[in-house]
Structure 1
Amino acid sequence: MTERQLTLRNFCIIAHIDHGKSTLADRFIQRAHIVDDREFHDQMLDTMDIERERGITIKSQTVNLPYEASDGTLYRFNLVDTPGHVDFSYEVSRAISACEGALLLVDATQGVEAQTLANMYMALEHNLEIIPVINKIDLPAADVEGVKEQIEHELGLPADEVVSISAKMGTGLDSLYEAIVGRIPPPSGDPKGPLKALVFDSHYDPYRGVVLYIRVFEGSVGRGDEMLLMSSGARYGVEEVGILRMRGLPVERLEAGDIGYLIAGVKTIRDVRVGDTITSAARPAAEAVPGFRAVKPVVYSSIFPVDSNDYEELGKALEKLVLNDASLVYEKTSSSALGFGYKCGFLGLLHLEVVQERLEREFGLSVVFTAPSVQYRVRLRNGEVVTIETPDEYPDPSRIEEVEEPYIKATIITPDEYVGPIMKLCMDKRGVQTSMIYLDSKRVELIYEMPLAEVLFDFYDKLKSISRGYASFDYEILGLRPTDVVKLDILVNGKPVDALSQLVFRGSAAVRARAICRKLKDEIPRHQFKIPIQGAVGSQIIARETIPALRKDVTAKCYGGDITRKRKLLERQKEGKKRMKMIGEVEVPQRAFLAALKAGEGEE
């Protein structure tokens, strides 16, 4: 092991949502003095506007920090800040694969929560050294001793290894630095061997092409080298390598153990994928670094440009977005109502919302999303099995033998006073309780098996409002189980609008249909004729709303005189409306599609 490797530490910060990861990263950056005080702001590593507005981390970010220990040794830390939300757990797995250690943050007022457990198991799978850290000890409600007991009892980590800090106030950071230096192992790997580097993230720069973020496991790479991307076989000359100090800082070479960036003028985006291995074209490595597990989308929705002329632009934007968000998958599709677009797979509804906002903000596109759906497996009467992700793929009900939908194992940790309302919510969402464990005198762990489709729309929001924000939620996919699903069609003026179709559980079809019809009634402007809005399952109408006709005042210019003059004008208007009814086309604004998507069962 070289001198350079001995003073290097690669670690990430993992935790449940709102336990203080980004705040702790801010303190590390401040103490390293790599940013001027006048440039410093909170959430330094949350570079996207949407992250700062929502107060959440969406993208993992890396920063290289110098640290001088008490004995005078100068260390280099590569710190990776990770998201906490369950929809971005794929980002966490990517960050973990580039590190040797992890700081597991636990809130001193909330204790161990659902995502804390999930992230710890992910770190253990990658054989990371875990340092348990209790944060927010400055708060009046902090229960440090109680949380230490939870860490020992629920996580199986020794209480005497816990480091107590306040990231906001900067308390206890010296102990944390010493723990990082003493307990996280330095990276191993032969700097003189064949190059083997893992691509754990990337983004597109309009001037320099694809910027790759890499972790070097073996060998070294520098300017002028010819590199080979092992999955695509593409070769490129390296133009620049460097470390990440908020901005890229060029260096001569990156050696085994280093985390940094690499620019090689890659313009063909398809050549690069996250999880790929970079090696030397002259002396290639024998095998690739084990990449990331293949990501499986759980929510499907189609994206269409508001202006059909933006279709090509939308395709290019999605291509660039996939560089930075490897969990997004997409393919071409079309709709009779909305034209050409792309069918996309997401890890959850928050992921879908973030992609929509990024397309609008970063690429200036106006887009419409269809109703989110999960993946169903349909067994037909002729023995054929088909997988469907969107309502327009749903076969004729007379041909269907059985439909299966994905189920999840939902883990909810909550204070005991909210158990009753949460159990009712889970039962309303077709959940079946499999376990209820009292973790201590005040906290309960509930485990339910429920359909993923029921969690999509408003489950998380309702859970947070019922528990006043104290309940935490995590889930994992169990597999497919039989269900009774129907295709809900929405008819506007007697014509089905394919972009508003949804696959729903038969028992909740009428409720969902009424909610959508009401939303559309509010959003579609009145026309010169009456417009019926209907929800239908097959040929059966299960919900209806009517938009009344907009009546023009045809008698405005009729002053005084015989009443028959006015009557004649009104009769003529009525005849005109009848003809218009026969040939009238309804104009549905884009906001009506968005409103219909947000019409959940909670509005009933």
Structure 2
Amino acid sequence: MKIRNFCIIAHIDHGKSTLADRLLASTGAVTKREEREQTLDSMDLERERGITIKASSVSVIHHYAGEDYMLNFIDTPGHVDFHYEVSRALQACEGAILVVDSAQGVEAQTVANAYLAIESDLEMIPVINKIDLPGARPEEIALETEQVLGLPAEECIFTSAKTGAGIQELLDAICAKLPDPAPRKAGDEAPESDDQKTRALIFDAKYDDYRGVVVYFRLFGGKLKVGDKIRMMGTKRGFAVGELGKFKPKMTRQKEPMEAGEVGYMVASIKTLADVNIGDTITLDNDPAECALPGYQEPHPMVFCDFYPSGETQFDDLREAVTKLHINDASFTYQPTTSEALGSGFRCGFLGMLHMDIIQERLEREGNVSLVQTAPTVTYEIEQRDGVVFEITNPADLPDPSLIKEIREPMITAEIITPNKSIGDLMKLCDQRRGEYKKQQYLSETRQILDYELPLAETIYDFYDKLKSITSGYGTMDYQLNGFRRDNLVKMDILVNGTRVDALSVIVHRDKAEYRGRVLLKRLKQEIDRHLFEIPLQAAIGGKIIARETIKSVGKNVTAKCYGGDVTRKRKLLEKQKKGKERMKRVGTVDIPQEAFMAVLDTGE
């Protein structure tokens, strides 16, 4: 039986998951009774939000030209925050289906994912989807795809994943155009003898409370069967294969050995999460390969925040939940941290704001923990006067200002696709965020591509929302990290009742510090409840206070019980209340709600 390994890539909401559903139905992998929307999106969170978060693999059989073909395909996410999932999926394939919406055309992530596939040396089949829509322009979009990506317009396959139009033609093209599985992948420098030996790439894994770690792999060479003694080439740990199977689309156990080119899952009584690394190579213990398959590049977290346990959740519960989630999502990083105000927790790294939001929800749902989350920050590069250069992910870690020579912030190169009528407002937004114009090119008669260099810290919170608002939802953005750049940056501390709160510290541009400080204090004033004593809120740079707000105390009429009598009695009660409030101000504590920690993100624009 011939094998074809491919993945489905596209911009978000261009119909990848619906196309995957149609491929499953057309090949008989799911019955009419089992059919449902987003079949491969197994998480409740994916169904609620209507997006793909985790890449999902499946094996189906298609009959073409008198032969049976095993099609192993992976449905990948489309949002920019999950590009690491896409890059991992591409490493396990020889081909890719590039889906483009016939109404919306080529978008930012369409371009980014196409370049990822080209870098991985994959054969691409362009698909123009949603041709059943009233506003569909398949021929026009096919020409646009050729102009932007260089994929011939005549090779585009017109489909409607909703109605099933063009699906059989697509299945036949997959069998005819995509290459046979290769015994090695790009960048593999192993000797030719390794092509015959068992080498499998771990492209995903998940933790099961009853079976331990379930490993998802693609076999590049050799065979693998139940009972084999295997070795993880990265961790040097050995295990015995207890179960092998495929995704059809549910996990289905198989007794016969796995052949080269096949994709499946393996259970081998792996109890410790540290024993499995995504990107590691599996080989046989008694006949090992010399070289491991080239794994994945380490993901570079763009956004950082702290998670602390709250309510009845203990630190150990949070640690267990974080560790289990990390094995399922290698792009999420974590390390222990402590805070005077919030206790022990974890400093976590994410690929973007949506990724951070998804991780928080998954921890609370899957790990059954209650969290307090601090405001997200980015990595800064610090050069001291003695020449030492290091990175910090938390403004509270910034050394004494007298020791600092310069602070460098991370920059991104943003590629924004926008309608012509929105260009002026979009340029104004980028200028407000300290952006630097690079170039502009025409995509079609109605759309253009803008290239800007922007500080990452200015884009992580509401930039994407404002982009969508300005362009009436038609603008899209993709970005790449572009190193660090020196600027006039300072650390702004927030003092609540005279006490510096580390979790509210923020690094800002000096020219915007006073404005940002005033906006932040006004937000804090709204979020922090009134107490029995007056609470001063202050923003400071070093020892200089640059902004102040005051939360008034809760008033209590202590003279209400006085019915007449000498006025000195009322004065005595008021004097006693005044002394009590002064004492409370010195020893009392201020309760800061979760919303207050997120207030630092409000730019006031």
Identify the TM-score tier after normalising by the shorter chain. over 0.9
User: Which among 158, 163, 166 is matched to residue 164 of structure 1?
Assistant: 158
Q: Aligned residue for 2:519? A: 515
Q: CA deviation at 1:575?
A: 3.2
Q: Are 1:245 and 2:215 matched, yes or no?
A: no
For residue 273 of structure 1, what is the aligned residue in structure 2?
Answer: 277
In structure 1, the residue matched to 2:449 is: 445
Distance in 1 (CA, whole Å) between partners of 2:16 and 2:528 is 44
Tell me the distance in 2 between the aligned counterparts of 1:582 and 1:274. 52
Partner of 2:129: 135
Query: In structure 2, what is the equivalent of residue 35 of structure 1?
Result: 30
Partner residue, 1:374:
378
Q: Residue 314 of structure 2: SS of its match in structure 1? A: helix
Are 1:89 and 2:92 matched, yes or no?
no
**Which of residues 28, 42, 48 in structure 1 aligns to 2:43?**
48
* Length-normalised TM-score, structure 1: 0.95
CA distance in 2, matches of 1:245, 1:542: 62
Q: Which amino acid aligns with 1:153?
A: Q
Corresponding letter in the other structure for 1:392 = A
What CA distance in whole angstroms lies between the structure 2 residues aligned with 1:493 and 1:280? 63
Partner of 1:217: 220
Hey, what does 1:109 align to over in structure 2? 103
Structure 1 residue 333: deviation in Å? 1.3
Q: CA deviation at 1:386?
A: 2.0
- The residue that corresponds to 2:203 in the other structure is 200
Alpha carbons 1:191, 1:255 under 8 Å: kept? no
AA partner of residue 500 (structure 1)? L
How many angstroms apart in 1 are the aligned matches of 2:515 and 2:250?
52
Cα distance in structure 2, aligned partners of 1:317 and 1:155: 42
Deviation at residue 559 of structure 1 after TM alignment: 4.9
Is the counterpart of residue 315 in structure 1 residue 319 in structure 2?
Answer: yes
Kept after mapping to 1: 8 A contact 2:100/2:129: yes
Q: CA deviation at 1:562?
A: 6.5
1:461 alignment partner in structure 2: 465
| Secondary structure of 1:17's aligned partner | coil
Mean alpha-carbon deviation: is it higher for 259-268 or for 361-370?
361-370
Q: Indicate whether 1:228 and 2:261 are aligned.
A: no
Q: CA deviation at 1:42?
A: 1.1
1:54 Cα shift?
1.6
Shift of 1:555: 3.8
Give the counterpart letter for 1:465 in structure 2.
S
Structure 2, gaps ≥5 residues long: 184-192
Q: Which amino acid aligns with 2:252?
A: L
Decide whether aligned partners of structure 1 residues 276 and 562 sit closer, same or farther in structure 2, where only a CA change above 3 A counts: same
Cα distance in structure 2, aligned partners of 1:187 and 1:111 = 31
Residue pair 1:66, 1:77 contacting (<8 A) in 2 also: yes
- 8 Å CA contact 1:306–1:590 kept in 2: the answer is no
**Percent of residue pairs identical:** 51
Question: Is 1:371–1:501's contact at 8 Å kept on the other side of the alignment?
Answer: no
Question: Structure 1 stretches of 5 or more lacking a match?
Answer: none
Offset from partner CA, 1:170-216 (integer Å, 9 cap, x none): 11111111111111122144999321000000000000000000000
Residues 191 and 220, structure 1, Cα contact 8 Å, conserved in 2: no
2 CA distance for matches of 1:155 and 1:288? Answer: 33
Counterparts of 1:351-430 in structure 2, within 5 Å, are 351-430=355-434
CA contact (8 A) 2:194 2:290 kept: no
Give the letter for the 1:209 counterpart.
Answer: G
State the shift of 1:269 in Å.
0.8
Structure 1 pair 161–309 and aligned structure 2 pair: CA distance change class (3 A) = closer
Cα drift, residue 461 of structure 1: 1.0
Q: How many Å apart are 1:374 and its aligned residue?
A: 1.7
Kindly indicate whether the alpha-carbon contact (under 8 Å) linking 2:232 and 2:281 is maintained by their aligned counterparts in 1.
Answer: yes
Please say if residues 224 and 237 of structure 1, whose CA atoms lie closer than 8 Å, have aligned partners that are also in contact.
yes
1:470 to 459, 469, 474: 474
In structure 2, the CA distance between the partners of 1:192 and 1:222, relative to structure 1 (3 Å rule), is farther
Q: Which amino acid aligns with 2:602?
A: G
Out of 89, 94, 98, the residue aligned to residue 100 of structure 1 is: 94
How many Å apart are 1:102 and its aligned residue?
0.6
Q: Specify the SS of the correspondent of 2:282.
A: strand
Contact persistence 1:22–1:81 (CA under 8 A): yes
Q: Are 2:79 and 1:121 equivalent residues in the alignment?
A: no
Q: What residue number does 2:59 align with? A: 64
Q: Is it true that 1:343 corresponds to 2:347 in the alignment?
A: yes
Name the SS for the 2:402 alignment partner.
Answer: helix
**What is the CA–CA distance in structure 2 between the aligned matches of 1:308 and 1:491, rounded to whole Å?**
28
User: Is the contact between residue 192 and residue 220 of structure 1 (CA under 8 Å) also seen in structure 2?
Assistant: no
Separation in structure 2 between the aligned mates of residue 438 and residue 340 of structure 1, nearest angstrom: 52
1:20 counterpart (15, 24, 40): 15
Q: Distance in 2 between matches of 1:211 and 1:531?
A: 53
Q: For the Cα contact (< 8 Å) 1:371–1:502, is it kept in 2? A: no
8 Å contact from structure 1 (residues 407, 479) kept in 2: yes
Q: Residue 147 of structure 2 aligns with which residue?
A: 153
The answer to whether the Cα contact below 8 Å between 1:415 and 1:470 also exists between their aligned partners in 2 is yes
- Is the partner of 1:468 in helix, strand or coil? coil
For 1:560-597, what per-residue CA distance to the aligned partner results, in whole angstroms no more than 9, with x for missing partners? 6666655543443233223322332222233432x425
Does 2:431 align with 1:431?
Answer: no
Cα contact 1:243–1:261 (8 A) shared by 2:
yes
Name the CA distance, whole Å, in 2 between partners of 1:199 and 1:435: 40
Verify the 8 A CA contact 1:308 1:339 in the aligned structure 2.
Answer: no
Q: How many residues align?
A: 595
Do 2:336 and 2:346's aligned partners in 1 also have CA atoms closer than 8 Å?
yes
Greater mean alpha carbon deviation, residues 369-378 or residues 248-257: 369-378
Please, which moves more after superposition, 539-548 or 466-475?
Answer: 539-548
Cα deviation for residue 302 of structure 1 reads: 2.0
1:481-521 CA distance string (max 9 Å, x none): 11121111111101001111112222222233223222221
Distance verdict in 2 for CA 1:464–1:278, change over 3 Å: same
